[in-house]
Amino acid sequence: ACLNVRSGQKSLTVFLIDLDDFQVINDRYGNAGGNIVLEEIADLLHSLIKDKGCIARYGDDEFVVALPGQEDRYVLQQVKYLTDQIRQLEITIRSPQGREKVQITASIGMVYCEPNAPVSNATMVLEHADNQMYSVKNNSKDGFSYIVLNAIPQKVSQAVDEKPADIALPEISPH
């Protein structure tokens, strides 16, 4: 995917998704409860992304989504929609008290690489996404921050932290 960006063939959008306060869920419901949350998030991501990109679990409570060929005008809608869908997800976990509904939020770092952007490798892109995700974590959680890697060398668009609006946005598009 990075080669396609460098050669000007396609753009690349990468989301690094970290589940907020996931350790609290593991502490309260055990690893089995945490696994249910991870499975529900993975199912949600698969339902939204379908065959438009790839999804991977990246760490304990982190996921990476890579979407090649997205148009820049759609990526902000996509990350807002994704953040909103995670927040609205109600997950049922069994506990000693019975079934409990759990809600979770996510801090998402996004990198949009324009075609011809100076992208050297996947590690570089993930580092940018990680930095954006941590800017959300360190501020308020439950939101996203993004950066645009432009085709003009040494030009990087201003990163922006945002809280998604409570509006329904369209499904992630194949554009």
- The span from the CA of 134 to the CA of 142, in Å, is 11
Residues 6+ apart with CB under 8 A from 96: none
pLDDT given for residue 78 in this prediction? 85
Query: Is the pLDDT confidence value at 164 over 70?
Result: no
**Rounded to an integer, what distance in angstroms lies between the CA atom of residue 133 and that of residue 141?**
9
Residue 158's CB is within 10 A of a number of other CB atoms, namely 7
Give pLDDT, residue 162: 52
- Condensed to tens digits (0 to 9), the pLDDT of residues 138-151 reads 998 999 999 888 76
Tens digit of each residue's pLDDT (9 = 90 or more) over 8-33: 567 888 999 999 999 999 999 999 99
pLDDT for 9 equals 67
User: How does residue 77 score in pLDDT terms, banded at 50, 70 and 90?
Assistant: confident
| DSSP sequence for the chain | -HHHHHTTS--EEEEEEEETTHHHHHHHHHHHHHHHHHHHHHHHHHHHHTTSSEEEE-SSSEEEEEEET--HHHHHHHHHHHHHHHHH-EEEEEETTEEEEEE--EEEEEEEE-TT-----HHHHHHHHHHHHHHHHHHTSSEEEEEEE-SSTT-BPPPEEEPPPSS--PPPP--
Is the confidence at residue 167, as pLDDT, over 50? no
β-pairing, 143-149 vs 106-113, is parallel
pLDDT at 35 over 60: yes
State the average pLDDT for the chain: 81
0.85 exceeded by pTM:
no
